[in-house]
Structures are given as structure tokens and as C-alpha cells.
Structure 1
Amino acid sequence: MENKFIPATSVNSGRVVAIQPDIHMYTVQIVNLFFVGHKNDWVLVDTGMPRSADDILQQTEKLFGEGAKPKAIVLTHGHFDHVGALEELVQRWDVPVYAHEMELPYLTGKRNYPEPDASVEGGLVAKMSPMFPTEAVDISGRVQALPVDGTVPPMPGWQWIHTPGHSPGHISLFRPADRLLIAGDAFVTVKQDALYNVLTQKKEFQGPPRYLTTDWTAAKASVIRLAELQPAIAATGHGEESSGDELSEGLAYLVDHFDEIAVPDHGRYVDGNKE
């Protein structure tokens, strides 16, 4: 994965935002990853695009100092843009990785993801999607399943929530104390299949990226479940953070109009067709 370069970027590439004093969102090309915690006690959520390990290591040192490394890596899911630097970072840091049990086959070399659907209704990014890698990474011996009780061992005070649809073992992370949500790709705040929107990061509440989502019934149920949490702040895998009325109104509108906004009119995985 680390040897594959994806020629896609956005105006926010390299942007770092302090969502909360202990939550920093870092944009790598077109995807966000998260530094959660404080110096000597932090976790990395997702690992960005292929060939981004050096950029992530540089940002790590800016935030936490020379030689810093996380307690663990937690993955929302294993698509290429969320595990692009995973193998190299695990080798350098020698830390455990946590993911949902249903995502483990894609993280242990046992199963590849379904091919992206270039036929799906959508913009130029959707048409480019066949170039995106779907091969499983293999970090056998490093990755373990998250506990079934919803806790996240390296992240006290957080809960993981199973939000499938975009991938079978997709999770979102929620901290009840301040109602902060890291949604992964369960929903996003940019129209990820349209090149102009991706480049400019025009904010709009959307379902998961169309060209890699294989179960739209589950995807809709996942968005409804996240909306029921009434998050105060949300950060997604693609697009900018949101809070307050913008978030509550945007998420409510997405729930009410999910079939119209999110579900494509046509495509390989529409109408209940899975892998």
C-alpha cells in the first residue's frame, strides 16, 4: 500500500485543526486522520493515504515532540485511504492496532475489498475509482478486535459504534462527555465522488462515498444511529468538522433525505446488491 501513490488532493491537504484541546484533525490529501490525547498518552485514529507515513511522522513530532509515538492505532475501517501508511507506521512504532472484528480479514491479508464501482451515479472521482487499491493489508499479529462491550482500550471515555454499510466492520467513535463524534466515512461533509467538491472541500452533508459503499440499507441505518446520539461536534473521514446548529440541522436533513441525497440512482451495489 505504501508504494502506491494516489494523485488526488484538496485545498485542505496539510491542514491541522484542534477540534478540542486533545483532538487534532490532520488532512492528508483528501482524507482526515486524528491525533487523540496529550503528550505521552495519545492514540492515532486512521493512517491516511498511501505514501503518507513521513508526513504523519513529521506532524506527530510537531504535536508531541521528537520520537513520540502513540499508545495504539485505532481504525474506523480498512479502505486504502484510511490505512495507507498503516504497515510502515506499525513497523516504526511497534504499537497495537484495533479494529472491528468484521474488518480483520481486510487487515490480515485474507480478503480484498470489493472493486470500486465506477458505474455508480456520481462525479469524476467515482469514474476514477478503479485506480484505487482494494488489496488487503497484512498486519497479522499486530491487529486485534475491539472488545464487544463497545469500549476502546487505549481510549478511556470513548465508545466504538458499529456503523456498517461503507464497509462491513466500519466503526465510529463517540465520547459522551462532550458528545464528540469521529464518524469515519459513515457520513461525510463533502460530496466525495465529485472532483470539484473534493478539491475545494465545499461543505455539505453526504452519505458515505458512493463508489466504495456496498450496503446502502446498512449505511442508512448507521447514519440514523449516529444522528440519535445528538453529537455536539463531528469530524468525518472526508470534509471539514461541524458543530452546533450546522451539525444538528445538516445531520437531520441527511437522515430525512438519505435516499435522495446519498443513495445513487444506479450502480453495482444499489438495490441490495452486495459484493
Structure 2
Amino acid sequence: MQLGPHLRRLGNDIVASYLVDTDEGITLIDAGLPGHWHDLMRELETLGKSPADIRGLVLTHGDSDHIGFAERLRREHGVPVYVHAADAHRALTGEKPKTPMGPMKLGPTLGFFSYALRKNGVRAIYPSEVVEVHNGDVLDLPGSPVVIGMPGHSPGSIAVHIPSADAVFVGDALTTRHVLTGREGLQPAPFTDDPAAASRSLDRIAGLRASWVLPGHGAPWHGSPADVAAAVRAAG
């Protein structure tokens, strides 16, 4: 799905990751589920590119539905995988605290888990090596991604701001479609370690200049990051 001249989405409203295409190469944000590898290959073919054009993969956090094809990309094509230091262990092992599932509806919940099954997401393949990043880092990757610490969903959750793509990628710092209820619109994401911290972290993107706020689950949100915090808090 093309969102702009340099910006494409892989996956769908259930699970999404993103591709930023520049003259210097490609930066990926998140890796979805293992089966999204085929979506990535199709997107690269559409662009006339190959995995050799990918310079790096930045994970917004270490959960299994964001690391999908990361290890395959790293192992087969030498693409480095970046993750915040506070989520490195989570990304490498899958170890995380158990969080309440919260409200759910049968249809959307079954839809989420059946989609994960179709995309080979039942058994996560964890990366065996990552590059640790920190709040405020500007990565030496196409688009010069800026790392913004967004602790709450996980300790090392981040947003990634790429001004040339006119976008901020927020992972599970928020959602626009709750995977367990099907509710649409800006709202808190489920499976969050520390909801209060996640709510506070939303203020960290308020001053960014971008027209797209792009979550890991749900439709792309076209609007100013300055409006996000109040909308998510009101919905929560």
C-alpha cells in the first residue's frame, strides 16, 4: 500500500510494517509476522528493488508480531536489526511480562489469531543479533530515522520519526484498530505493560512535524502528531 512517494505499508490493518524508499536505499520499520516476508518481496519487486537495497530494519519494540522476518533478513542478506536497548532482551528471547488481555470480542479476536496463523506467526523466529539504540539517536540509515523513546507498551518501545517520509512510526504506542475488539480510531493499544507510562509517552511525539502517524495495528492515521495524545487519552 503506497502512502506517499517514499512510503509504503506492508501487511494490513491487523498487522503492519513499513518501507521507506530513498535514493540512498531502503529503511524498514518493523517486520510484522514471518509470512510478511512474501509481502516484502512483492513490494520490492514493484519498486524494482531487492533485499540488497535494504540498509536497516528498525523495530519499534521487541514483541513477536513485530520481529517476523527480521532474522531471515539479517541472516540471508546481512541487514542489521535495530532495537532500543531496553527491549533487546525481549526481541532476542521473547521473554516479557504477562499482561491482562482486557476487553475482547470473539470475531475480531479470532480474526487476529487466525491471521497470525496464516502468516506463520505461531512460532516466532527471534533475531540472534541486534544493534541497540537509545532515545535521541539519529540512525545512519536512509531517511536519517530519529529514535524517540516511548516506554509503556514495553520498556523499550520507540517511535521512529523520518521527516523525509513525512511520518512518525509509533508501533504499539497506540493503535487505530484494537485487535481484540475491532474498535477503530485512535486509542490505547492492548497488551501494554504499563498503560500509565504509555499515556505519558504520547506527549513525546506532540512536537514532531509529520502528516502520517503510523501504528503497527490499524489504519494509517493522517493528521498531526500534536492531536494524538488527547485523542488516545479520551478514547481510553
Q: TM-score, normalised by structure 1?
A: 0.71
Q: What is the identity, as a one-letter code, of the residue corresponding to 1:206?
A: Q
Counterpart in the other structure of 1:229: 208
Q: 2:10–2:39: 8 Å Cα contact kept in structure 1?
A: no
**Long gaps (5+) in structure 1:** 1-15, 198-202, 263-275
Query: Structure 1 residues 229 and 239, CA, compared in 2 at 3 Å: closer, same or farther?
Result: same
Q: Aligned equivalents of 2:197 and 2:142: distance in 1?
A: 26
Is the aligned partner of 1:153 residue 2:140? yes
2:156 equivalent among 169, 172, 187: 169
In 2, the alpha carbon distance for the partners of 1:23 and 1:145 equals 25
Match of 2:232 among 241, 254, 265: 254
1:91 maps to 75
1:17 and 2:5 correspond: no
**Residue 206 of structure 1 pairs with residue 187 of structure 2:** yes
CA contact (8 A) 2:143 2:164 kept: no
Within the alignment, does 1:218 sit opposite 2:197 as a pair?
yes
Q: Which has the higher strand share?
A: 2
Distance 1:191 1:37 in 2: 28
Q: Partner of 1:3 in structure 2?
A: none
- Identical pairs, percent: 26
Aligned 1:29-68 pairs, distance under 5 A: 30-38=14-22, 41-66=25-50, 68=52
SS of the equivalent of 1:43 reads: strand
> CA 1:127 to 1:218, structure 2 compared with 1: closer, same or farther past 3 Å?
farther
| Paired amino acid for 1:145 | E
Alpha-carbon distance in 1 for matches of 2:165, 2:91? 31
Structure 1 SS opposite 2:176: coil
Q: Distance in 1 between matches of 2:195 and 2:50?
A: 44
Structure 1 residues 115 and 126: alpha-carbon distance in aligned structure 2, compared to 1, 3 A threshold: farther
Letter in 2 for 1:213: T
Bigger radius of gyration among the two: 1
Query: Quick check: 2:13–2:217 contact (8 Å CA) kept in 1?
Result: no
Correspondence for 1:101: 85
Asked if the contact 2:112–2:179 (Cα under 8 Å) also holds between the matched residues in 1, the reply is no
What letter matches 1:214 in structure 2?
D
Deviations 1:101-121 (A, max 9, x none): 011102223x51233534x23
RMSD, matched Cα: 3.1
Change (3 A) 1:249 1:74: closer
Amino acid at match of 1:139: P
Query: Which residues of structure 2 form unaligned runs of 5+?
Result: none
Q: For the structure 1 residues 88 and 242, does the alpha-carbon distance in structure 2 shift closer, same or farther, using more than 3 Å as the test?
A: same
Report if aligned partners of 1:115, 1:130 keep a CA contact under 8 Å in 2. Answer: no
Query: How many corresponding residue pairs?
Result: 230
Separation in 1, partners of 2:177, 2:7 = 21
d(CA) in 1 for partners of 2:79, 2:144: 20
CA apart distance, 1:185: 1.3
